[in-house]
């Protein structure tokens, strides 16, 4: 939410920006590993990383972030100096157990035992230009270990990652968590205009299937911030590409398309543009080999669907699919499957 600013004349007409706050992942679920693993604050280099998706942070695009706060029932570890950093994250989660490199160091904090908020005030503001944002909290001076929980939301995907070096192992221990901590950002809105690109990168494709149950998904992801995407879809018929979806425009961080035609070969073409600048046109081809249709009352591969639940990217359940939605299907044999769709 944008706020109006009041101009106050004091001696030499100084202008001060008013800080605004944005809170994301406001939940009562708890996790003891991120943003920092309290049991290993006695080990230098222990750190946690969290990826907050671009759609959570749209109010801050072009702003200067001046601080971030995490919430806990109470800090139990003591004496550790924690360092906070941020970086743009090209990927969406930590399914690969690989940390995001290149975090910009922004400030430090020594939490006190009993604190219910862990608040970092940045030494220098971080300019947020859009996209997925990674926050890193790292132990830079060790303290006395003790387990500590943090509030947030459980999620269907691994949006958090943590690492530490155990005295009993020669290699770091790496884990990921289906959880995002509740975070409040302090920022000064409208102070920075994102830079205008001088060239536009071609979009990239990510394709995947969910166990042959929900079809084949193709995600088109822009590589230049603020670019718009044009795409079209062909299907192969008798050795020829036939246009089945004419050139269509979309704006945003990504576009996901689902294909449910059994035993069909597809080609998706796309390019990006900003104003008069245009990227190279790229293409992605794939084959959908076997896609049984699934309904609530249908039997799929010997399984009967018992129910379907819908979640947003923050892990909050919804009554129906809306926007970027994670669909969890439960079968009568107790197994589940998940799919990510855009409605």
What domains appear along the chain, each with residue ranges and CATH number?
A: 20-188 (2.60.120), 204-288 (2.60.40.10), 299-342 (no CATH)
Residues 133-167: b if buried by 16+ CB within 10 A, e if exposed: bbbbbbbeebbebeebbbbbbbbbbbbbbbbbeee
Q: Phi then psi for 39, rounded to 5 degrees?
A: -70, -15
Q: Which tens digits make up the pLDDT trace of 240-268?
A: 888 888 998 887 778 877 776 666 788 88
325, pLDDT greater than 80:
no
126: its two tokens: 């971080």
> How far is Cα 36 from Cα 263, in angstroms, rounded to an integer?
47
Averaged pLDDT for residues 27-52: 96
Closest CA to 22 of 67, 53, 72, 82: 67
In DSSP terms, which residues pair with 259 in a beta bridge?
216
Pair 156, 315: CB distance under 8 Å: yes
Q: Which tens digits make up the pLDDT trace of 128-153?
A: 988 999 999 999 999 999 999 999 99
Three-state SS at 227? coil
Three-state SS at 132? strand
pTM of the predicted model as reported, rounded to 2 decimal places = 0.56
DSSP 93-120: --TT--PPP-PEEEEEE-PPTT-SEEEE
Identify the pLDDT of residue 45: 93
pLDDT band at 11 (very low <50, low <70, confident <90, very high): very low
Identify the pLDDT of residue 208: 66
Contacts of 2 (CB under 8 A, 6+ apart): 20, 59, 189, 190
């Amino acid at each position: 939410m944008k706020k109006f600013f009041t101009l106050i004349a004091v001696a030499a007409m100084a202008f001060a920006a008013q800080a605004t706050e944005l809170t994301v992942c406001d939940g009562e679920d708890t996790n003891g590993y991120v943003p920092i693993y309290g049991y290993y604050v006695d080990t230098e280099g222990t750190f946690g990383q969290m990826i907050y998706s671009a759609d959570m942070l749209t109010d801050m695009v072009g702003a200067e972030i001046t601080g971030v706060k995490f919430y806990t029932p109470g800090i139990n570890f003591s004496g550790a100096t924690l360092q906070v950093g941020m970086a743009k994250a090209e990927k969406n989660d930590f399914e690969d157990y690989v940390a995001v490199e290149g975090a910009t160091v922004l400030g430090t904090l020594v939490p006190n035992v009993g604190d219910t908020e862990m608040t970092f005030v940045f030494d220098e503001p971080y300019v947020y230009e859009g996209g997925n944002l990674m926050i890193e909290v790292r132990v830079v001076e060790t303290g006395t270990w003790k387990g500590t929980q943090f509030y947030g939301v459980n999620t269907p995907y691994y949006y958090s990652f943590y690492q530490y070096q155990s005295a009993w192992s020669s290699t770091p221990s790496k884990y990921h968590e289906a959880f995002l901590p509740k975070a409040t950002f302090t920022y000064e809105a409208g102070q920075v205009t994102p830079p205008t690109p001088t060239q536009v990168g071609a979009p990239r494709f990510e394709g995947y299937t969910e166990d042959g149950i929900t079809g084949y998904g193709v995600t088109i992801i822009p590589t230049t911030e603020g670019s718009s995407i044009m795409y079209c879809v062909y299907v192969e018929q008798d050795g020829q590409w036939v246009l089945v979806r004419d050139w269509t425009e979309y704006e945003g961080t990504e576009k996901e398309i689902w294909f449910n035609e059994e035993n069909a070969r597809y080609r998706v073409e796309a390019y990006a543009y900003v104003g008069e600048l245009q990227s190279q046109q790229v293409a992605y081809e794939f084959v959908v080999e076997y896609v049984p249709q699934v309904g609530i009352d249908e039997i799929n591969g010997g399984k009967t669907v018992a129910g379907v639940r819908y979640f947003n990217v923050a892990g909050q359940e919804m009554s129906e699919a809306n926007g970027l939605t994670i669909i969890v299907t439960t079968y009568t044999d107790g197994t589940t499957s998940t799919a990510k769709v855009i409605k």
